[in-house]
Each structure stands twice: as C-alpha cells, then as structure tokens.
Amino acid sequence: EDEKETLEMMFEECQVAAERLLKDGKLYELESLLNGNLDDKPARIVLTAGAGGTEACDWVDMLHRMYLRHAERMNYKATIEEMSAGDVVGYKSVEILIEGQNAYGWFRGEKGA
C-alpha cells in the first residue's frame, strides 16, 4: 500500500514537472523569436478615433483599456503620454508608452485601421 502511494506521488510530481517544462519551453521559444535590433526597446501605441464619431471614440477607449491590462499582465510599465477626450464618450486619441523587457517586440505587430 505504501509503495502504491509513493508511486502515485511520484507520478503527480512528474506530471507537474512536465507541465512546467512545457510552459517554460514555449516561453523560451517565444522569447527567442524576439531577437530583432529594436525588440528590446519601449513601444509607443497611438490610438485615434478617426472619422467614426461616438462609436469610434468608444472603441479607442476599449482598446486603450485592453492595452493597459495586457501590459500589466506582462509586467510592463504603461504610461499614458497623451489623451484627448471624445465629445460624448471615450477618447479621440490616446498615446501609450509601454516599457519593459522586449516591449517593442511584443507589441510591434499591433497595427490596424
């Protein structure tokens, strides 16, 4: 009976170690892709509402909150450099500076219109 319990404990420890190894391996693989000459620099994100009116200003507000939360989860420092309120809701524009390890590398693909 003791031998069975010992084997079960060892099996559980091996499972936890294997899961941790897989997670660390995926993170290492992703970090190794961030080897561009600017990847370790800060990222600047500029969100503008454009000609979409109230809905566009609301969308800028949602995006700015999303980027701030994402930066926080990544343990990055996010600073709002500029913010212009919308006429009714949200913001006409928001400029965010994100600083931390490989910040530009992580955020360089964030493009849209």
What's the pLDDT score for residue 71? 95
Mean pLDDT of 38-43: 90
Of 111, 113, 107, residue with least CA distance to 38 = 107
Q: How many Cα atoms occupy the beta-carbon half-sphere of 40 within 13 Å?
A: 3
Give the angle subtended at the CA of 15 by the CAs of 12 and 21, to the nearest 5°. Answer: 145
d(CA 58, CA 87): 10
What's the pLDDT score for residue 113? 66
SS3 state at 24: helix
Whether the full predicted model's pTM is greater than 0.85, yes or no, is no
